Amino acid sequence: MPRFPRSLLLLAAFQLATLLVAGCATTPPASDADAVADFKATNDPLEPTNRVFYAVNNGLDTVLLRPLAVAYKSGVPEVVRTHVHNVLDNLSTPVAVADDILQTKPRRAGDSLMRLLINSTIGVAGIFDVATDWGWPEHSTDFGMTLALWGVPDGPFLFLPVLGPSDPRDAAGFGVDVAMDPLTWVGQGTIVDALGYARLGVSAVDARAAALDDLDKIKAQALDPYATFRSLYRQHRDSQIEDARSDNRATLPVWFPAR
């Protein structure tokens, strides 16, 4: 079994241990009805634990990930960075096709499938994003969104080490996506492992470099960066899910005689 899923189990165990130490958030007194309503709406009962993990993540980010992202952005030309991003995108398209099908979104599944086929062949192993120009735009999807479209509520906010802002539904979805990814299981040996970790590392740096300016701005200007990230994560997630839910493009071809 590849080492990757085992590290996820370790993460989960670590989170559980820290939860027992840091504890849960204190509910505001029942006399302050507005505060209680706000507390319930925020839905973050594990806030002390989450803040600990946020501090840990922030430390790792400041010391390790952000300098790498800055070096990547300044050292590597934009064209090469775009190509790297395209290759990474292409590698995660099989999972996207599966998720789109599970979400019962045939047009989105079609987009993902065509992107996989076209970019892998004509786009030379995903380097060139030819499919977008040909009419199959990119969209992001994951098993967390699949669960959301199946009606699973998101649950309390969780700030996971390394993975960042999440919730039980999306964390479970991430695990399922890793298990569904054919690249997790294909091949064995040192080289395959090394390629897997390389993909993980480059994905992290690529994502961090794309969000460099925005995250710097938020950390500099927010009075409570943790709360800002929590709010942004939830809103962005809801918007992604709503985009998927409302994508009901017709599946009949134009020439097919409609009743």
The residues that touch another protein, with contacts defined as CB under 8 A, are: 28, 34-35, 38, 42, 73, 78, 210, 213, 217, 220-224, 226-228, 230-232, 235-236, 238-240, 242-243
Nearest distance in Å: CB 102, another protein? 22
Taking the C-alpha atoms of residue 9 and residue 12, their distance in angstroms, rounded to an integer, is: 5
Q: Which is nearer to another protein, 176 or 244 (CB)?
A: 244
Residue closer to another protein by CB (options 42, 120) is 42
Name which of 42 and 184 has its Cβ closer to another protein: 42
- Could you give phi then psi for residue 155, rounded to 5 degrees? 85, 180
Minimum separation from the CB atom of position 239 to another protein (A): 2
Per-position DSSP letters for 182-248, written without gaps between them: HHHHS--SHHHHHHHHHHHHHHHHHHHHHTHHHHHHHHHH-SSHHHHHHHHHHHHHHHHHHHHHT--
Nearer to another protein by Cβ, of 6 and 236: the residue is 236
Owner of token pair 């803040």: 51
Find the shortest distance in angstroms from Cβ 131 to another protein.
Answer: 17
Q: Name the one residue in this structure whose structure tokens are 């970019």.
A: 119
User: What's the min distance (Å) between Cβ of 220 and another protein?
Assistant: 8
Would you say 221 and 96 are in contact if contact means Cβ atoms under 8 Å apart?
A: no
Q: Is 9 exposed, middle or buried (0-12, 13-18, 19+ CB in 10 A)?
A: exposed
Write down the least CB distance from residue 73 to another protein, Å: 8
| Rounded least distance, CB 146 to another protein, Å | 19
| Closer by beta carbon to another protein, 51 or else 183 | 51
CB-neighbour burial class of residue 230 (10 A; exposed 0-12, middle 13-18, buried 19+): buried
CB nearer to another protein: pick between 138 and 193: 138
C-alpha distances in Å from residue 115, one per residue of 27, 125, 146, 156? 48, 11, 20, 35
Closer CB to another protein, 20 or 34, in the complex: 34
At closest approach, how far in Å is the CB of 35 from another protein? 7
